[in-house]
Amino acid sequence: MIIQLDQKNKEQAKQILHIQLAAYQMEAEQIGYQDLPPLKEIVKDVMDANEIFIGFEKEGSLLGIASYEMHEDRVVLSRLAVHPHGVHQGIGTELMQAIIEHHLPIELTTAEANRPAIRLYEKLGFKQTARLQVENNLMLIKMERSMLRKVEVVEYETSWQEQFHHELDKLKKAVGDNWGDGHHIGSTSIKGMAAKPIIDILLEVKQISKLDECSHLFSELGYEPLGENGLKGRRFFRKGGLQRSHHIHAYEAGHEDVKRHLVFRDYLRAAPGRAKDYADKKRQLAKAHPEDMASYINGKNAIIKEIEQEAFNWSKQLETNNQARE
């Protein structure tokens, strides 16, 4: 059973240290390095630690401990220790799963020679990010577990239009005199269509370079500025972290991608059958890839290209018809 520990309590600090010394002594022997910092700690060091401590208890006995630091955007694992009497019982996994439930990226450092620990972390989704030479006979590796965005497609909500207009008012103030126009795009802009619940906003500004000067105002509204993010001439902002709520696609007025986005939206509004095809495809992909956003996005590429071509042809036909009326 996972329990919360209070390292400020001297008796609990002693229990924590007992587990720690036994576990890290076993690691020291395994990797051939006796100078591990956790082996040098005393009870006062544990009591002074500014970390969150949890433990694994079985039949009243503490068999494993973990401690970590909580940050706004990540968790940093400080220690993970299982008493030699508790190894091979899944205790380390349960302690790590309790930390994973915070739903934040997790960073840690461990000895490169500690293969059992590395296998555990890899099994839980951690990947190596760096190697650090501490001393001639000690190599550490940094590992990180990134949180995957869940793929969620929900039925149309009438509140999406209200959310768009509410956000647009705030964006007008942030952009100021550089403002051109703002449009609701993407699936949430199409009435009756299932979508990921993310409000996509297309901004037109007079000068795209001036938008960089007010990126701090977007940050104050909760947005993360990501520059062009792969598309030349665009400025992209996202809001909500892993629980994404808004995207902003900003272009200079007259950019060809402005028309592309608007024609795609307007065509689906005018062609409910194709909107249904697109929504059905998204539901299918979300069910098949509930935790794999990349596969979900890649799976939509073919139908998006089909609809974009249809939308282009539809738009050209509208222009021709309008010219004929004139």
Contact 44, 54 (CB under 8 A): no
Q: Token pair 């689906």 is at which residue?
A: 268
**Predicted pLDDT at 278:** 97
Residue 44 lies in a domain: yes
User: Vertex 46, ends 86 and 28: CA angle to 5°?
Assistant: 50
Q: What is the CATH number of the domain that holds 97?
A: 3.40.630.30
**The pTM is what?**
0.60
Domain identity same for 292 and 165: yes
Domain identity same for 306 and 177: yes
Domain identity same for 138 and 183: no
Which among 164, 160, 162, 113 has a CA at the least distance from the CA of 140?
113
Contact 36, 42 (CB under 8 A): no
Token pair of 144 as six digits: 């990180």
| Domain endpoint, select from 145, 176, 211 | 145
Q: What is the dihedral of CA 38, 43, 49, 53, to 10 degrees?
A: 80
| pLDDT < 70 regions, the chain | 136, 148, 242
Contact 62, 56 (CB under 8 A): yes
Token pair of 131 as six digits: 């190697």
pLDDT tens digits, one per residue of 172-223: 999 999 999 999 999 999 999 999 999 999 999 999 999 989 988 998 999 9
Domain identity same for 49 and 184: no
Three-state DSSP class for residue 243: coil
**Alpha-carbon span 249 to 259, nearest angstrom:** 13
Domain identity same for 212 and 130: no
Residue 154 lies in a domain: no
Residue 16 lies in a domain: yes
Phi, psi of 16 (to 5 degrees): -60, -45
Domain identity same for 9 and 107: yes
| Domain endpoint, select from 123, 145, 167 | 145
Kindly list the distances between the CA atom of residue 55 and the CA atoms of 58, 89, 116, 192, 293, in Å, as whole numbers in the listed order: 10, 14, 20, 49, 34
Q: Which domain holds residue 138?
A: 2-145
Phi, psi of 304 (to 5 degrees): -65, -45
Contact 186, 200 (CB under 8 A): yes
pLDDT tens digits, one per residue of 2-46: 999 999 999 999 999 999 999 999 998 888 888 888 999 999 999
| Domain endpoint, select from 145, 170, 203 | 145
**Predicted pLDDT at 35:** 85
| Partner residues linked to 143 by β-bridges | 108, 128
**Alpha-carbon span 127 to 141, nearest angstrom:** 10
Domain count, the chain: 2
Domain identity same for 75 and 47: yes
Helix/strand number for the chain, H first, E second: 10, 12
